[in-house]
Homo-oligomer: A and B are copies of this chain.
């Protein structure tokens, strides 16, 4: 863990220049607007250890798959979102010196991420190697309302320097990251140059022809007034822009505003791309920095109005939850079913910008509840559109007949991962899509979406299970052999309880919706029957047989579900038995040692108890929680919030609070020693779910919304809004009372602590 950032309810603050933590800070201060984003790098070059990266949503590159030993079924290519051109670059030169914090003296330094204003701000007093002292301020905005626009205000004040200050706003494609091992050329340049007051760079990914055109222009003022400059054009092969020199003496200040447009072929016609980017920056320049900054603040204010959680009495938790909401919204706007959310958003290359089951496990429930139903539906539609590819994918692995296996990792619906134990075996991922659809129905109160889009997915997934299970003669039951469950610290196990149980759930849900859609949405049903060529009688018979005879491993002595066959043969011990300097174990232990240990990467049996809460009584949850939680190392970001929710349900409030903090401040406090690689974007909504489903105990049972709130001892109150069946309800919880307010929609009865409350 690292705790060098200041606690503040609305800001993330770094005080003093911390070169050792630079990569982590670069992750933390990342910005984005859903269409593009970049790590919190300095605008100027930094010659020491740093991880400089920018990304454009939906722009992908096909990487050749590299593995040590090939297995049949591995994908030949895998899609990833490549490093884009660096549009934030602003260089600062004093004749023969160029600002580089790795070599210049830093007298004062602070920066903050302002989550209300939606910007980062940096102030520093620095001394050049020749002793020239400057005061520099930088404000950086990725504009939420103007999705192609980034604005950087770069101010320099001379303290003891007389001479020329040059500022260079640049677009630079000469990017190569330490993480980039492919060695392949990613980008072709279609055109690069200067058009009057604008520089532009028009690029294309090789193999795929995804296009991005960047443009930039600027204004310069000296001591607050416009000044004549004679910009020098920068027109290199991979870098374009301007060099603007201004003569200063001590006390003078120069202020550059750089406007950059990042226009991509995902949203704009290829042949209008350059025109569009140039128009964007020229318009922004005519509007001006101050107005754009106001727009940004207003846009964020609307978001906070919808989604903010107020925690009174615990600034660290308050900061954490807001940071998570802020970063998630920066990474994903939800304006297109063509996009999903990469686990690191725009903050790192790890996971390639691809889609994981994180989206359905964590993001869909969040967006469904936290006012953003259309966003959730775009995430679901992404999967619906990829159903044909999921069917191809199952066939590739030998499971045919309209069965679907959704990829573990994908951009365009094709599998991008190449570890057999994940790619071919972590098949429980198939089910979370079905459960996300079910949550849609539960939370919206309508089955129309499932009738229109969901049932086809359900049928294809059920068909997969129907062919993937096998029948054990000794057990006279169905078994699922050779899987990796949610706990990826077990590979190729038999009868993972979560997988087997969720397979049964999935078959049940599918059978239920076949009946429901047939009865209530006959047109949809007729269409689906034609599309999927459903042989209902025979398939239902097989599915019911699997439902009735599925093997579910239990330990009846302990009264628990057994994570997988053989788990009880392990040497079972608590996480406390691991020496602290060997954690996280995935950074210290060899893989075989992890596998044969009892340690659980992330909730597995407990995940099932969380998802299917209406199926289990609290005693069952308690026994399993008390057995599994002590062995769980939470080295997946998807884990702590699940345990936090269960702990809160069990009344273990202090435990729940610690797990919640883990989920909420995972990146800010660097729990797993990996924030430097980027943020855990797709698990960030987990901390919101921990509050709403955990502390507030939100559940839907028998079509009734209910809350069973608890409150951590550290908090005076907490409050949030949820959406439920066309209503918006605000809940405020204090140790003394829970107050629910209907903000929008028809009156409704809900249950609070088992009492009916009419809103």
Contacts and interface: CB of A to CB of B under 8 A. Distances in A.
A592 B420 contact: yes
Interface in A295-352: none
A596 B565 contact: no
A397 B593 contact: yes
A492 B72 contact: no
A651 interface: no
Contacts of A494: 566, 569
A475 interface: yes
A18 B571 CA distance: 60
Contacts of A417: 68
Nearest to A568: B474
Report how many copies the assembly holds.
Answer: 2
Interface stretch (A86-94, A429-437, A582-590): A582-590
A351 to B, nearest CB: 11
A475 B73 contact: no
A179 to B, nearest CB: 12
Interface in A690-724: none
Given A398-B593, A471-B571, A419 B566 contact: no
A493 B592 CA distance: 11
A428 to B, nearest CB: 13
A267 interface: no
A636 interface: no
Contact of A590 (B67, B397, B565, B593): B397
Interface in A58-78: 65-69, 71-73
A530 interface: no
A8 to B, nearest CB: 37
A676 interface: no
A549 B183 CA distance: 53
Contact of A592 (B66, B425, B591): B425
Nearest to A64: B181
A17 to B, nearest CB: 32
A265 interface: no
Interface string A545-561: 00000000000000000
A569 B479 contact: yes
A424 B65 contact: no
Contacts of A493: 492
Interface in A72-106: 72-73
B569 A474 contact: yes
Nearest to A66: B66
A482 B421 CA distance: 14
Contact of A596 (B419, B482, B572, B589): B482
B424 A592 contact: yes
Interface in A461-482: 470-475, 479, 481-482
A491 interface: yes
B66 A68 contact: yes
A473 B596 contact: no
Contact of A565 (B67, B397, B565): B565
A314 B699 CA distance: 78
Given A398-B590, A398-B593, A470-B571, A481 B566 contact: yes
A71 B473 contact: no
Main secondary structure of the interface of A (DSSP, over half): loop
Interface string A491-511: 111100000000000000000
Given A418-B68, A571-B471, A572-B473, A73 B590 contact: yes
Interface string A41-71: 0000000000000000000000001111101
Contact of A68 (B68, B397, B565): B68
A424 B591 contact: yes
B72 A398 contact: no
A589 B72 contact: yes
Contacts of A586: 72
Nearest to A427: B592
Chain B CB within 10 A, most for which of A421, A474, A481, A591: A591
Given A482-B592, A492-B491, A592-B424, A419 B569 contact: no
Interface in A147-203: 183
A566 B568 contact: no
A227 interface: no
A611 interface: no
A537 interface: no
Contacts of A591: 71-73, 420, 424
A669 B290 CA distance: 80
Nearest to A474: B568
Contact of A482 (B424, B572, B587, B595): B595
Nearest to A69: B419
A595 B72 contact: no
Nearest to A397: B590
Contacts of A572: 473
A425 B421 CA distance: 14
B492 A590 contact: no
A570 interface: yes
Chain B CB within 10 A, most for which of A470, A472, A474, A569: A569
A65 B425 CA distance: 25
Interface in A215-257: none
Closest 5 pairs between A and B when the two form their complex, measured CB to CB: A73-B590, A424-B592, A482-B596, A472-B569, A71-B591
25 contacts: A65-B68, A66-B66, A66-B67, A67-B67, A67-B68, A68-B68, A68-B418, A69-B418, A69-B419, A71-B591, A72-B589, A72-B590, A73-B590, A420-B592, A421-B492, A424-B592, A470-B569, A470-B596, A472-B569, A474-B568, A475-B569, A481-B595, A482-B592, A482-B596, A494-B566
